[in-house]
Structure 1
Amino acid sequence: MSRRPTYQGRVLPRPDEEVVDQGLNFDLGTLDRRRMLRLLGLGGAALGLAACSTTDSTTASASTSASAGTSTGEIPDETAGPYPGDGSNGPNVLAQSGIVRSDIRSSFGTASGTAEGVPMTLELTVTDLADGGKPFANVAVYVWHCDREGRYSLYSDGVTSENYLRGVQIADASGVVRFTSVFPACYTGRWPHVHFEVYPDQASITDAGNAIATSQVALPKATCDAVYATSGYESSVSTLSQVSLTDDNVFGDDGGASQLGTVTGDVAGGFAVSLTVPVDTRTEPGGGQAPGGAPPSGAPRR
């Protein structure tokens, strides 16, 4: 798709008019969106986020299903964390041939490792709020997450030479991208999650500054309980008991209401996670990276 006109890195909502005529929302766009809502006393309610509930079974043998809340606003901007692999903090896997793929379980290029774990498919449906909420076809979506040991490829000890659990897909006419992966671990200090960035098109993915949205998918507790009761996820049992969605430093603003994936499936057959991702190109992306430099010692926290 063609790149939209910008001013100081911001997309112009009225590309045929002068910068001074772009409207109030554009003028306020340089302020942190979430902070502005708090200053106005609107809080999370202004985003129109509905509460969500889960009624899953917590046994490993039972089928697990959870419903995500709906949102009338754009997906919350979140940090990409210290291990993005998008060139903003060290390695840039997005510049490598082979990154556009649907099955992200194995490394590609000169790497050969494969991440083990309970099978998981991830489906994201991207919508374009600047175009009335229509499917956002042809955007590129980059997804990454930790393995069942809580390690991030390219960064964590033991897997710095691997690039598994990272991949890009191009949205179809319905705005949908699908990935085949494994269920991630729960590591110290964070609720189980999947990172993603949305880019205008495939050609723009090599520069992290081109991302039009950066966010994360939260995984329902009942599903996590079922997965973490299986072999290979033992360390996640205790770490999950020490965190919650409401206390998480990313999802705590609204308990993950607009980022909690809908999950179906079971341990034996694998789980299918889905989430609708509304993107508004009229607002300035607020997602960012953790401080640069070498990865911190111990478990990652983003």
Structure 2
Amino acid sequence: MDYNTATPRETVCLLSPEQIAGPYFRNSKLIRRNISEGQDGIPLVMRLAIVDAMTGEPVIGALVDIWHCNARGAYSGWSKVDPDKEVDADTIGSIPRTDDHTYLRGGQFSDNKGVVRFTTIYPGFYAGRALHIHVAVRITAGNNYLEERHVAWVGQLYFPEVASRSVLNAREYRGRTVSRLTNDQDHYYERMGGEASTLDVHSIGRESHDDGFFGQLTIGIDTFAVSSQIRPEDFDKYTV
């Protein structure tokens, strides 16, 4: 499979629902494809296509930020927060930061096909949630933070249960004191998109999952919408 040209499954007619930004949002201002920073875990290559849900046309030059926890459930900036204890997962800024690490965070501008690509690791989980990746899409006037217009969409991406079970058996993910939630047990998953928010995931290696996974999804957004989850001033307030 050519992971640069693979066609995502057809979701272009669906307006992707917004989901909570969560307490671990921060604006790292890191424009980069590889966000792993050497974190241990099963490799994950992601291809996201951002399209206008009204027309199906690619959204070009959008700034797409992603962030997620590491194999043990910790987020950079909050590395000292115990991921085996449930926290208030709804409100931005509800948990004080503990450090200045930036692993597993970064952004890319969508290309002329509306596509962004990231190299990272398959996320682990923290107490009370299924495995997921956060995404924020900002509509810009150009490939420049200073020409940003507005935050149009904030969401979360989930993983097929078969792939997640395999990953969580790997050494880097084992030994937790709390059990993860499956997608169906996570009320955010059921309430906010379910299958439409689940990445299409394939194993890269033929013989072993150790070589990692490739995940892809087409995200349909309203480019004129203003997000209810992250406001423009939040990017200034929660900047590194």
Task: Indicate the TM-score class for this superposition, using the shorter chain for normalisation.
Answer: 0.7 to 0.9
Residue type of the alignment partner of 2:14: G
> For 1:70 and 1:187, how far apart are their aligned partners in 2?
29
Contact 1:185 1:236 in 2 (8 A): no
> For 1:205 and 1:118, how far apart are their aligned partners in 2?
35
From the superposition, tell whether residues 219 and 170 of structure 1 become closer, same or farther in structure 2 (CA, over 3 Å).
Answer: same
Which structure 2 residues correspond to residues 1-302 of structure 1 after superposition, within 5 A? 70=11, 72-86=13-27, 93-94=28-29, 99-106=30-37, 114-130=38-54, 132-157=55-80, 160-201=99-140, 202-204=143-145, 210-235=150-175, 239-240=179-180, 243-253=181-191, 256-265=194-203, 266-288=208-230
Residue type of the alignment partner of 2:52: D
Residue type of the alignment partner of 2:150: N
Residue type of the alignment partner of 1:105: S
> For 2:175 and 2:114, how far apart are their aligned partners in 1?
36
Number of residues paired by the alignment? 203
> For 2:106 and 2:220, how far apart are their aligned partners in 1?
20
Of 182-191 and 243-252, the range deviating more from structure 2: 243-252
Deviations 1:197-228 (A, max 9, x none): 00113434898x93111001001111011111
Match of 1:215, SS?
A: strand
TM-score using structure 1 length:
0.61
TM-score using structure 2 length:
0.76
Q: How far off its partner does 1:154 sit? A: 1.1
Residue type of the alignment partner of 1:74: L
> For 1:80 and 1:267, how far apart are their aligned partners in 2?
30
Q: How far off its partner does 1:285 sit? A: 2.1
Match of 2:64, SS?
A: strand
Q: How far off its partner does 1:250 sit? A: 1.5
Structure 1 runs (4+) greater than 3 angstroms displaced: 67-71, 204-207, 235-238
Q: How far off its partner does 1:128 sit? A: 1.4
Match of 1:138, SS?
A: coil
Contact 1:68 1:258 in 2 (8 A): no
Q: How far off its partner does 1:256 sit? A: 1.4
Deviations 1:152-194 (A, max 9, x none): 0012218723101011111111111000001110221001000
> For 1:78 and 1:138, how far apart are their aligned partners in 2?
22
> For 2:199 and 2:221, how far apart are their aligned partners in 1?
16
From the superposition, tell whether residues 172 and 227 of structure 1 become closer, same or farther in structure 2 (CA, over 3 Å).
Answer: same
> For 1:139 and 1:84, how far apart are their aligned partners in 2?
19
Of structures 1 and 2, the larger Rg is shown by 1
Give unmatched runs, 5+ long, in structure 1.
Answer: 1-66, 87-92, 107-113, 293-302
> For 2:116 and 2:10, how far apart are their aligned partners in 1?
20
Deviations 1:109-157 (A, max 9, x none): xxxxx31111001111000134x11011111100110000100001221
Residue type of the alignment partner of 1:177: V
From the superposition, tell whether residues 225 and 276 of structure 1 become closer, same or farther in structure 2 (CA, over 3 Å).
Answer: same
